[in-house]
């Protein structure tokens, strides 16, 4: 063996060994050994999470820039309060050297403690590592859902995991697995949309991308499933307001994505901030202990959301004071408290245990879960990563994947007379509040919490206007903003400029918002923006709408005035480039709506609504949305044929195979999302009109055909029955793909 080969082998074996994951028994043993050595104070410290903001140097004007840790505060947090977890950024993102400095200081301090337990640092890297300068930014989750491409979602998650490690962070407050059952909810864009099946599949892909099989590898991170559970259907539609959800529907619509992700090994969950049926979830032992830990056998830990234990007495008023709130939450099953600004939790919990009001067994259970995650992540061996070795951070390779994901997310909703793709020789008016803003493309959780401050935008990324100018030449493009989000600016000027162009591209949508700052009283697109399009339409020139928005704002008044509509969601840093490439035909759009786009403010129905939802009195036969869930057009045409089921009579645990052939009958290569829906004809709980049960994204060249096979098993036919347990009933089912239908029966 020559020397080079020997060295190569030696180093590969060495790497394999150093990355080898401890098995469950070894980890459990290490956790128990450590637990027996810990004092009560050390244990409660592990259950405490602080935000970095309270550990940074500040004066009366706020944080001092460049940010620096206040070493006295750090000392007190780590050595006196023995804090086990730190989170977040202060106001804006750090660059990698900023993270390196902070993480190194924190972990070095932790290594000086008696038991050398590393700190678990967590952030919201929800569309790429949005709090590290120069990281690769993907579309927000709703856009990722619109790709309907699970492999792409997994690849994007791998990149996020890698770039988060490059920032020294091993824990991500992502993915959001809340199923967004109301379009009013301002966090819809953080989800994978309204459908349980789609959200579950996407969630599994994210877990595979973040956690993989070897969690202590230098490119893996722990996922945190949010927000367990029932957060996404507040009765008022406003964030963190009460939900009324019976257990049957909790289990039917909200539990499955969490359940699937937990089966895939997700290491942590964050708890729903709100109340369900009058019970704040942070105080609910049924959801946190009975369902999450006993029934789902979840071995990870449950962290509170921001200040939510305090909220039990300051907002929800089920406790008289902090001490009582801590007692209720910890006894209900909360393992870690995102306090996050003081030590009230730590002090109160220590005293509660001393007074016998919280049993030591509950503390041990929580700490065991937290330590287990720290061991699994390899933090004890390597609390500080090799910062230098992440050469691919923000690389061209990563950016390519982001552009691909963005391109596959954008959804063509209308295209009269094939106006798109646009001819590059046209004179164009670009107008609208979304036309020249990178912030609007990215949305919240971007560089800052609200994502609105332009100072931190990524240099070199294009707005929609810039991408259009780059393609057709600035001299062929006029730009007039026309309106702000809610008010008019210069609509008349837009009209004047429109006189001299061939086509109008109106970029409409929402300003950035995060959490309850996105609450709205009216789901329609604001009047000023509707007026801009209405006035422009009088010129009888083709209008192309580009919508950048986190939820479907109603456009029924202007939809008939548009020749084409592109829904871009919140496409991220590459949104401008991808939209430009789609408008001019360099990319064939393939996104599909992951939610129902409603037409009317009082008909906000999901696609899988019930028969009795349809308002017969108004003489309607369908829910009549503006655009259906799963809808999205292409520059080519696909034809579906030969839908066949392998049997007409399915029994017991047998599998039903469903075949369908898809042909590209147009003249461009394109991608299509083949969607399989089931319809249960009669059931003991009112069946939905249809339910997604399978999908696959395929690419076809002109004239190319592909036959797909979907497999359905008994569990695909199940629903939550009258006793709140899954049930499969005998009967007749339709399987529907595109406009084809086959019927089969099932017998237990
Ligand atoms: C949000 C969570 C987020 C947490 C930490 C909360 O306000 O609800 O989604 O992970 O803050 O930033």
pLDDT in tens, 334-358: 999 999 999 999 999 999 999 999 9
Give the pLDDT band (50/70/90) at residue 677.
very high
**Residue for token digits 């307001």?**
241
Residue bearing the CA closest to ligand 1, atom 2: 305
Does residue 619 surpass a pLDDT of 70?
no
How far does residue 307's CA lie from ligand 1's centre (Å)?
A: 10
Same-domain check for residues 281 and 145: yes
**Which CATH number characterizes residue 279's domain?**
3.20.20.300
Peptide bond into 227 cis (omega under 30): yes
Does residue 13 surpass a pLDDT of 50?
no
pLDDT in tens, 693-723: 999 999 999 999 999 999 999 999 999 999 9
State which ligand 1 atom lies nearest to the alpha carbon of 190.
9
What is the rounded average pLDDT of the residues 217-243? 98
Give the pLDDT band (50/70/90) at residue 1.
very low
Pairing of strands 428-431, 411-415: unpaired
How far does residue 466's CA lie from ligand 1's centre (Å)?
A: 33
Q: In 266-397, where do the E strands start and end?
A: 268-271, 275-276, 279-280, 301-303, 337-338
What is the rounded average pLDDT of the residues 67-74? 96
How far does residue 306's CA lie from ligand 1's centre (Å)?
A: 6
How far does residue 182's CA lie from ligand 1's centre (Å)?
A: 20
Ligand 1, residues 127, 174, 268, 306: which to mutate, most atoms within 8 A of Cβ? 306
Residue 88 in contact with ligand 1 by CB distance below 6 A: yes
Nearest Cα residue to 337 out of 85, 594, 157: 85
pLDDT in tens, 363-408: 999 999 999 999 999 999 999 999 999 999 999 999 999 999 999 9
Q: Is residue 555 part of a domain?
A: yes
Give the pLDDT band (50/70/90) at residue 20.
low
3-state secondary structure 30-48: HHHHHHHHCCHHHHHHHCE
State which ligand 1 atom lies nearest to the alpha carbon of 88.
12
Residue 305 in contact with ligand 1 by CB distance below 6 A: yes
State which ligand 1 atom lies nearest to the alpha carbon of 173.
10
**Concatenated DSSP letters of 292-321:** IIIIS---SEEE--TTHHHHHHHTS-SSSS
Same-domain check for residues 664 and 742: yes
What is the number of alpha carbons within 13 Å of residue 638 lying toward its C-beta?
26
- Which of 621, 651, 679 is the C-terminal boundary of a domain? 621
> What pLDDT score was predicted for residue 614?
85
How far does residue 515's CA lie from ligand 1's centre (Å)?
A: 8
Does residue 193 surpass a pLDDT of 80?
yes
Residue bearing the CA closest to ligand 1, atom 11: 306
Q: Is residue 241 part of a domain?
A: yes
- Which of 339, 369, 385 is the C-terminal boundary of a domain? 385
Tokens encoding 94: 């750090």
Does residue 673 surpass a pLDDT of 90?
yes
Does residue 138 surpass a pLDDT of 60?
yes
pLDDT in tens, 571-584: 999 999 999 999 99
Same-domain check for residues 692 and 718: yes
Same-domain check for residues 499 and 589: yes
Residue 53 in contact with ligand 1 by CB distance below 6 A: no
Give the pLDDT band (50/70/90) at residue 623.
confident
The whole-angstrom separation of Cα 193 and Cα 341 is 32
How far does residue 336's CA lie from ligand 1's centre (Å)?
A: 14
> What pLDDT score was predicted for residue 19?
45
**Which CATH number characterizes residue 533's domain?**
3.40.50.1700
Does residue 7 surpass a pLDDT of 60?
no
pLDDT in tens, 535-551: 999 999 999 999 999 99
Task: Give residues with Cβ within 8 angstroms of 589, minimum separation 6.
Answer: 407, 410, 411, 412, 566, 582, 632, 633, 634, 635
What is the rounded average pLDDT of the residues 175-193? 98
Same-domain check for residues 181 and 280: yes
Same-domain check for residues 359 and 471: no
What is the rounded average pLDDT of the residues 657-682? 98
pLDDT in tens, 476-488: 999 999 999 999 9
Residue bearing the CA closest to ligand 1, atom 6: 306
Does residue 8 surpass a pLDDT of 60?
no
3-state DSSP assignment of residue 590: coil
Same-domain check for residues 559 and 649: no
Ligand 1, residues 305, 308, 444, 519: which to mutate, most atoms within 8 A of Cβ? 305
Residue 446 in contact with ligand 1 by CB distance below 6 A: no
Same-domain check for residues 359 and 434: no
Q: For the packed helices 150-165 and 396-409, what is the interaxial angle rounded to 10 degrees?
A: 140
Q: Is residue 541 part of a domain?
A: yes
- Which of 621, 647, 666 is the C-terminal boundary of a domain? 621
Q: Is residue 633 part of a domain?
A: no
CA distances from 747 to 653, 694, 723, 727 (A): 10, 21, 20, 12
pTM above 0.85, yes or no: yes
Residue 226 in contact with ligand 1 by CB distance below 6 A: yes
What is the rounded average pLDDT of the residues 10-22? 48
Nearest Cα residue to 668 out of 626, 624, 628, 636: 636
**Which CATH number characterizes residue 687's domain?**
2.60.40.10
Does residue 621 surpass a pLDDT of 70?
no
Q: Is residue 628 part of a domain?
A: no
Task: Report the chain's mean pLDDT, rounded to a whole number.
Answer: 96
User: Cα 627–126–201 angle (5° rounding)?
Assistant: 55
Same-domain check for residues 469 and 443: yes
Same-domain check for residues 594 and 643: no
Same-domain check for residues 655 and 742: yes
Residue bearing the CA closest to ligand 1, atom 8: 305
Ligand 1, residues 270, 272, 340: which to mutate, most atoms within 8 A of Cβ? 270
Q: Domain range spanning residue 497?
A: 410-621
Does residue 691 surpass a pLDDT of 50?
yes
Q: Is residue 160 part of a domain?
A: yes
The whole-angstrom separation of Cα 11 and Cα 109 is 31
Residue bearing the CA closest to ligand 1, atom 10: 173
Candidates 195, 284, 305, 348; catalytic one: 305
pLDDT in tens, 648-665: 999 999 999 999 999 999
Give the pLDDT band (50/70/90) at residue 570.
very high
305 an active-site residue? yes
Residue 173 in contact with ligand 1 by CB distance below 6 A: yes
Residue 124 in contact with ligand 1 by CB distance below 6 A: yes
Q: Is residue 394 part of a domain?
A: no
Does residue 316 surpass a pLDDT of 80?
yes
What percent of the chain clears pLDDT 90, i.e. is strictly above it? 95
Give the pLDDT band (50/70/90) at residue 22.
confident
Residue 268 in contact with ligand 1 by CB distance below 6 A: no
Q: Is residue 32 part of a domain?
A: no
Same-domain check for residues 351 and 291: yes
> What pLDDT score was predicted for residue 11?
41
Ligand 1, residues 51, 173, 516: which to mutate, most atoms within 8 A of Cβ? 173
State which ligand 1 atom lies nearest to the alpha carbon of 224.
10
Question: Is 566 in contact with 579 (CB distance < 8 Å)?
Answer: yes
What's the domain count of the chain?
3
């Amino acid at each position: 063996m020559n020397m080079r080969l020997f060295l190569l082998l030696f180093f590969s074996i060495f790497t394999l060994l150093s990355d080898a994951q401890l098995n469950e028994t070894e980890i459990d043993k290490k956790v128990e050994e450590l637990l027996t050595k810990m004092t009560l104070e050390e244990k409660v410290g592990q259950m405490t999470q602080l935000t970095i903001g309270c550990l940074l140097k500040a004066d009366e004007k706020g944080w001092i820039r460049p940010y620096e840790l206040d070493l006295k505060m750090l000392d007190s947090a780590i050595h006196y309060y023995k804090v086990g977890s730190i989170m977040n950024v202060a106001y804006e993102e750090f660059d990698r050297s900023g993270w390196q400095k902070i993480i190194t200081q924190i972990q070095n301090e932790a290594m000086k403690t008696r038991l050398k337990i590393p700190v678990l640092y967590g952030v919201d890297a929800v569309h790429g590592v949005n709090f590290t300068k120069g990281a690769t930014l993907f579309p927000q989750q709703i856009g990722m859902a619109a790709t309907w491409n699970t492999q792409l979602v997994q690849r994007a998650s791998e990149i996020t995991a890698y770039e988060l490690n490059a920032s020294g962070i091993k824990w991500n407050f992502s993915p959001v697995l809340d199923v967004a059952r109301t379009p009013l909810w301002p966090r819809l864009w953080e989800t994978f949309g309204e459908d349980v099946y789609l959200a579950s599949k996407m969630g599994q892909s994210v877990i595979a991308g973040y956690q993989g099989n070897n969690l202590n590898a230098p490119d893996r991170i722990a996922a945190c499933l949010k927000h367990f559970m029932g957060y996404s259907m507040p009765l008022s539609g406003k964030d963190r307001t009460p939900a009324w959800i019976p257990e049957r529907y909790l289990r039917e619509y909200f539990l499955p994505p969490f359940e699937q992700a937990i089966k895939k090994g997700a290491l942590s969950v964050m708890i729903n901030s709100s109340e369900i049926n009058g019970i704040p979830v942070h105080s609910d032992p049924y959801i946190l202990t009975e369902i999450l830990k006993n029934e789902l056998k979840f071995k990870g830990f449950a962290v509170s959301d921001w200040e939510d234990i305090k909220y039990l007495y300051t907002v929800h008023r089920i406790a008289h004071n902090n001490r009582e709130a801590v007692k209720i939450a910890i006894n209900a099953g909360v393992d870690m408290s995102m306090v996050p600004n003081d030590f009230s939790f730590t002090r109160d919990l220590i005293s509660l245990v001393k007074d016998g009001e919280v049993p030591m067994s509950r503390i041990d259970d929580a700490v065991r879960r937290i330590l287990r995650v720290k061991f699994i992540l390899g933090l004890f061996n390597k609390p500080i990563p090799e910062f230098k070795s992440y050469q691919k951070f923000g690389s061209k390779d990563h950016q390519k994947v982001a552009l691909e994901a963005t391109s596959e997310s954008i959804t063509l909703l209308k295209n009269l007379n094939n106006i798109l793709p646009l001819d590059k020789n046209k004179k164009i008016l670009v107008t609208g509040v979304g036309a020249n803003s990178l912030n609007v493309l990215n949305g919240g959780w971007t560089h800052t919490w609200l994502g609105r401050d332009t100072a931190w935008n990524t240099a070199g990324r294009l707005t929609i206007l810039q991408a259009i100018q780059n393609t057709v030449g600035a001299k062929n493009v006029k730009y007039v903003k026309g309106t702000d989000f809610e008010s008019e600016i210069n609509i008349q000027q837009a009209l004047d400029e429109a006189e001299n162009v061939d086509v109008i591209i109106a970029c409409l949508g929402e300003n950035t918002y995060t959490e309850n700052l996105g609450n709205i009283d009216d789901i329609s697109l604001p009047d000023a923006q509707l007026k801009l399009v209405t006035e422009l339409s009088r010129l009888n020139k083709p209008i192309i709408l580009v919508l950048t928005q986190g939820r479907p704002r109603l456009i029924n008044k202007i939809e008939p005035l548009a020749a084409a509509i592109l829904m871009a969601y919140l496409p991220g840093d590459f949104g401008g480039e991808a939209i430009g490439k789609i408008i001019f035909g360099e990319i064939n759009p393939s996104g599909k709506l992951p939610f129902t786009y409603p037409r009317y403010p009082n008909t906000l129905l999901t696609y899988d609504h019930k028969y009795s939802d349809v308002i017969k009195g108004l003489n309607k036969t369908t829910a009549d949305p503006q655009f259906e869930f799963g809808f999205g057009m292409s520059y080519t045409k696909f034809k579906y044929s030969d839908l066949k089921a392998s049997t007409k009579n399915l029994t017991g645990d047998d599998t039903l195979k469903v075949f369908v052939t898809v042909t590209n009958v147009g003249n461009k290569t394109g991608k299509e999302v083949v969607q399989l829906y089931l319809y249960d004809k009669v059931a003991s709980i009112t069946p939905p009109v249809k339910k997604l049960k399978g999908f696959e994204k395929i690419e076809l060249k002109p004239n190319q055909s592909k036959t797909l096979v979907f497999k359905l098993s008994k569990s695909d036919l199940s629903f939550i029955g009258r006793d709140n347990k899954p049930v499969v009933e005998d009967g007749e089912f339709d399987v529907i793909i595109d406009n084809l239908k086959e019927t089969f029966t099932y017998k237990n």
